[in-house]
Structure formats: C-alpha cells, structure tokens
C-alpha cells in the first residue's frame, strides 16, 4: 500500500497544519504541470519588487488601452482617544507614503492576469455585437447568450483570444515598466512554448 503523502500520523495533524501541508503539495504540483505560468508569475513579481524598491507603483496598459496602476502602501496604527461615553479609544489604520513591497509582489501577477481577462472580455463583447449578438451575459471570464447564438459566440471568443495573445503581452508589460524605472530590468521574459495558438480556433473545449 503506498505511503500516505502526509505521513503515518496524518489523522492526528491539526487542521491548519494539514492545510499548510496540502497548500505546499498543490503549489509544487502546479509548478510541475504549468511551468510557463509559474515562470511568468515569477517575472511579474520580480518586476513589482523592483518597482517597490524605487518607491514607485506598478503601471501597465492593457491591450484595450486601459491603464492599470497598482500602488499598495504600508499602513500604521493610530490610536485616537475620544470623550465619548466617558472616554473611548479607537484604533485606526493610517496609510503611509511607503510602498508595501510584499503586498505589491503578491498582488502583481493576479492583477496582470485579471487585466488580460478583462481585455479579452471587452474585445469579445465588441465582436459579439459586430456579429449580431445583442443579448450577452458575462461574469468575469464566463460568457452566455441565447442557445441559437452559441456557435457564433464561441467562435468570437476563440478568435479574440488568439488575436490577443499573438502579441507578446509579457514583453510589452516589461517594456512599459522599464520606461519609467531608473534601474535596468534584467528579468527574462519566459520563452514561448510549443503551443500553436491557431489550434485554439479549432478547439472544442477552449470555451464552454
């Protein structure tokens, strides 16, 4: 019988310890399966860290022209004493002018991906209307319409996805950030893999 991944005393682990261990197992597995995604995330986080060290926000322009500015500042606790009800002390968080490097790094990759998803959504909705689809339901990266328009909708989704990522979005991100930094960005843009984007146009399960 194969050994339990959490060891012989797995049932005795406190819940938080088990969650922490499971998180590491899943994280390592993701790195083995989607290598390029992890490399891209590491590049974005490293660039965000460099911005933080210069005391600057992380700024990029999405493919649809939307300007994203990520600026997360440290906060400090301030105690306020009042005369209410004989004297009440209130603890408030006050934003400082110092960039929070840790939060900037952890937020950078998800925000970049969300901005790309939003760009795909906007481009797709424009394509829907251009192809006669007027009734559209969207929730982040989920799309819906009447059943009779499903094939057209899926065709538009695939085409806009391919056209969006035919361009080097990570390279454009790095170049734009470099344009306002004082130091040189030495991070390497991850190499393109073997996926032929044009195959997405024929994919049955690209979007459901």
What is the domain range of residue 76?
13-202
Per residue in 23-40, pLDDT (tens digit) is 888 878 877 777 778 889
pLDDT at 199: 94
pLDDT score recorded for residue 9:
54
Whole-angstrom Cα distance, residue 63 to residue 116?
Answer: 8
Look at residue 64 and tell me if it is in a domain. Answer: yes
Number of domains in the chain: 1
User: Residue 5: inside a domain, yes or no?
Assistant: no
**Residues forming beta bridges with residue 89, ordered by sequence position:** 81
Q: Is the pTM of this model over 0.85?
A: no
**What is the distance between the alpha carbons of residues 188 and 6, in angstroms, rounded to a whole number?**
36
Q: In the structure encoding, which two tokens stand for residue 78, read together?
A: 């301030």
Look at residue 207 and tell me if it is in a domain. Answer: no
- Residues with pLDDT less than 50, the chain: 1-2
State how far the Cα of 159 lies from the Cα of 81, in Å rounded to an integer: 60
The reported pLDDT for the residue numbered 20 is: 87
User: Which tokens sit at 79?
Assistant: 């105690």
In a domain, 66, yes or no: yes
Tokens of 58: 């992380």
- 3-state SS class at 144: strand
Task: Give the pLDDT of residue 5.
Answer: 54
């Amino acid at each position: 019988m194969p050994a339990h991944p959490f060891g012989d005393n797995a049932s005795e682990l406190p819940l938080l310890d088990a969650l922490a261990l499971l998180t590491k197992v899943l994280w390592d597995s993701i790195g083995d399966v989607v290598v390029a995604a992890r490399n891209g995330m590491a590049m974005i986080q490293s660039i965000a860290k460099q911005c933080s060290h210069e005391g600057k926000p992380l700024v990029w322009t999405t493919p649809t022209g939307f300007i994203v500015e990520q600026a997360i500042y440290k906060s400090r606790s301030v105690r306020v004493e009042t005369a209410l009800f004989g004297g009440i002390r209130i603890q408030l968080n006050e934003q400082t002018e110092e960039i929070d490097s840790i939060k900037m790094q952890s937020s950078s990759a998800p925000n970049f991906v969300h901005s790309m998803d939003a760009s795909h959504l906007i481009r797709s909705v424009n394509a829907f209307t251009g192809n006669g689809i007027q009734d559209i339901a969207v929730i982040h990266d989920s799309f819906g319409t009447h059943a009779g328009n499903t094939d057209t909708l899926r065709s538009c989704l695939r085409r806009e996805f391919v056209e969006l990522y035919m361009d080097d979005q990570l390279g454009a991100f790095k170049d734009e950030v470099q344009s306002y930094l004082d130091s040189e960005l030495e991070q390497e843009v991850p190499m393109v893999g073997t996926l032929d984007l044009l195959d997405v146009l024929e994919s049955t399960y690209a979007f459901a």
